[in-house]
């Protein structure tokens, strides 16, 4: 079935994120705390070199690459440690987000205020289903990986035979955009599968993926445009933030830089939640549109309608 998103879906998605902004702040705080842990070692190791040294002034009044490199060249390189730590804490964050996805989507799909217990119930309820989806997602990435490898060899071939330096580089840019688009489509597909899994309390992920694919196929342009619009907005805000950071903020204002970078990140997280909220809204509209009008009006039920949120939890 084809369903044109209502014009308000884009704005309503933003409103949904705003309404349940506690989710946004919690994700932001978890992300920040994990980043603080990831970089703690570096700060401690670099502290001895910087906090009481005149040489640290080179970093304060600008960004002197030599000072960074000099720090890195020390026998007890204080900048060496964060690499693996950042990766490990990022993996923890990714697992956290996978866990939280059930609660987030339940909030957006049913648009009902979650209590702490219902939120985490939803998280736990859907975690293993989403974990299975991640495995399918990784499998789906394989063709993209193969395509990337093939394009890589074509790139090298063009680079070797073409006298123009543009041919290979433009090919590379074009392929990068295509791969990015394909990855975004995959993300859209699996996001939709997660929404269906939550909305329908679906346990069979195969079937969910098939339904999501079918929905995506019938509404590809409108759904993708929804995602792309939000992504573009996120990148524009990110670019604007970088501009302010580089050109407008004083190199001495570390507090202002911290605030700016964290605001950039908040918007980035919000944009991602916005995409998910829009998809949840879209699916609610789809559900509503796909209910067949009864030929007669049934008598009103004496029982109050069950709260969809708690139903989904059972």
Partner 1 sequence: MNGQAIPTSSEPNGALSTRVVAYSIDAKLNTTNHAIDATETLVYRNLTGQPQQTFPFHLYLNAFQPQSTLMTEVRLNGARGIGADSGWNDKHRASITINKLEVEGVDLAGKMQFIQPDDHNTNDHTVFQVTLPQPVAPGASVEFHMTFHDQLPEVLYRTGYKRNFYMVGQWFPKVGVWWKNGWNCHQFHADSEFFADFGTFDVNLTLPQDEIVGAAGDLASTVNNPDGTKSMKFHSEDVHDFSWAASPDFTMVEDSWTGSAGPVKIHVFMSPGNMTSASRYIQAQKGTLAWYDKWIGPYPYGRITIVDPPHGAANAGGMEYPTLFTAGTGWFMPKGLLVPEDVVNHEFGHQYWYGMVATNEFEDAWLDEGINSYVEAKSMDALYGPKTSMVNFPFATLGSSDLMRLEYISLPDTDPLTRFSWKYISDNAYGGVTYGKTATVLLTLEKIIGEDTMLAAMHEYFLRYRFKHPTTEDFLKTIEDVSHQDLKWYFDQAVYGTNVLDYEIWDAHSDRLNWWEKEIRAKSPNEETHRTYVTVHRKGDFIFPVDVVVKFEDGSSATEHWDGRDRWIRYTYDRKAKLASAEIDPLNQVRLDRTSFNNSFVVQEDKRAIHKLHNIWIFGSEWFSQFLAWLS
Q: Which residues contact 78 (CB under 8 A, 6 or more apart)?
A: 42, 45, 46, 48, 49, 71
Residue 97 is a binding residue for partner 1 (CB under 8 A): yes
Question: Is residue 134 within 8 Å of residue 99, measured between CB atoms?
Answer: no
User: Cα dist. 160→94, 148, 173, 268 in Å?
Assistant: 40, 18, 17, 39
Does residue 25 touch partner 1 according to CB under 8 A?
A: no
Q: How far is the CB of 77 from partner 1 (least distance, A)?
A: 11
Which of 98, 112, 147, 237 binds partner 1 (CB under 8 A)? It is: 98
Q: Is 80 in the site for partner 1 (CB under 8 A)?
A: no
Q: Select from 1, 142, 161, 305 the one that contacts partner 1 (CB under 8 A).
A: 161
| Residue 77 interacting with partner 1 (CB under 8 A) | no
CA distances (Å), origin 215, targets 2, 275, 296 = 8, 16, 29
Of the residues 115, 203, 261, 311, which one makes contact with partner 1 according to CB under 8 A: 261
Buried residues in 178-212 as b, exposed as e (16+ CB within 10 A): eeeebeebeebbbbbbbbbbbbeebeebeebbebb
Smaller CB separation from partner 1, 250 or 290 = 250
User: Is the Cβ of residue 120 or residue 245 nearer to partner 1 in the bound state?
Assistant: 245
Q: Is 112 in the site for partner 1 (CB under 8 A)?
A: no
Residue 224 within binding range of partner 1, rule CB under 8 A: no
| 146 C-beta neighbours (distance < 10 Å), count | 10
Q: Is 26 exposed, middle or buried (0-12, 13-18, 19+ CB in 10 A)?
A: middle
Q: Are 102 and 122 in contact (CB under 8 A)?
A: yes
Smallest separation, CB 99 to partner 1 (Å): 11
Q: Per CB under 8 A, does 21 bind partner 1?
A: no
299: tokens are 């008598």
**Under the criterion CB under 8 A, does residue 93 sit at the interface with partner 1?**
yes
Cβ neighbours for 81, distance < 8 A, ≥ 6 positions apart: 41, 42, 45
In sequence order, the 6+-apart residues with CB closer than 8 A to the CB of 156 are 168
In the complex with partner 1, the residue whose CB is nearer, 90 or 310, is 90
CB of 202 to partner 1, least distance (A): 19
User: CB 85 → partner 1: shortest distance, Å?
Assistant: 8
Which residues make up the interface to partner 1 (CB under 8 A)?
31-32, 34-36, 38-39, 42-43, 46-47, 49-57, 59-60, 62-66, 68-71, 73-74, 82, 86-87, 89-91, 93-95, 97-98, 134, 137, 159-161, 163-166, 168-169, 187, 245-247, 251-252, 254, 257-258, 261, 264-265, 268-269, 272
């Amino acid at each position: 079935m084809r369903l044109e998103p209502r014009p308000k879906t884009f704005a309503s998605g933003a409103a949904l994120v705003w309404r349940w902004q506690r989710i946004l702040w919690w994700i932001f705080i978890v992300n920040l705390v994990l980043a603080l842990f990831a970089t703690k070692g570096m700060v401690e190791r670099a502290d001895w070199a910087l906090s009481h040294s005149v040489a640290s002034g080179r970093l304060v009044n600008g960004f002197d690459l030599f000072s960074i490199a000099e720090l890195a060249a020390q026998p007890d390189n204080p900048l060496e440690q964060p690499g693996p730590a950042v990766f490990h804490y990022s993996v923890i964050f990714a697992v956290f987000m996978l866990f939280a996805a059930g609660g987030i989507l339940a909030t957006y799909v049913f648009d009902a205020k979650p209590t702490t217990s219902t939120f985490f119930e939803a998280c736990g309820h859907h975690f293993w289903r989403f974990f299975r989806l991640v495995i399918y997602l990784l499998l789906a990435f394989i063709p993209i990986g193969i395509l990337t490898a093939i394009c890589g060899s074509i790139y090298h071939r063009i680079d070797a035979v073409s006298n123009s330096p543009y041919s290979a580089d433009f090919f590379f840019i074009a392929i990068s955009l295509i791969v990015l688009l394909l990855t975004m489509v995959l993300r859209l597909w699996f996001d939709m599968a997660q929404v269906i899994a939550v909305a329908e309390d679906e346990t069979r992920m195969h079937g969910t993926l098939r339904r999501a694919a079918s929905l995506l196929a019938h509404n590809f342009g409108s759904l993708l445009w929804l995602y792309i619009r939000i992504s573009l907005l996120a990148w524009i805000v990110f670019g604007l933030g970088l501009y302010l950071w580089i050109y407008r903020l004083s190199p001495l204002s570390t507090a202002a830089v911290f605030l700016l970078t964290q605001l950039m990140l908040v918007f980035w997280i919000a944009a991602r939640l916005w995409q998910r909220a829009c998809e949840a809204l879209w699916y609610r509209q789809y559900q509503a549109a796909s209910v067949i009008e009864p030929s007669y009006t049934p008598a009103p039920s004496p029982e109050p309608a069950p709260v969809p949120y708690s139903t989904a939890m059972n």
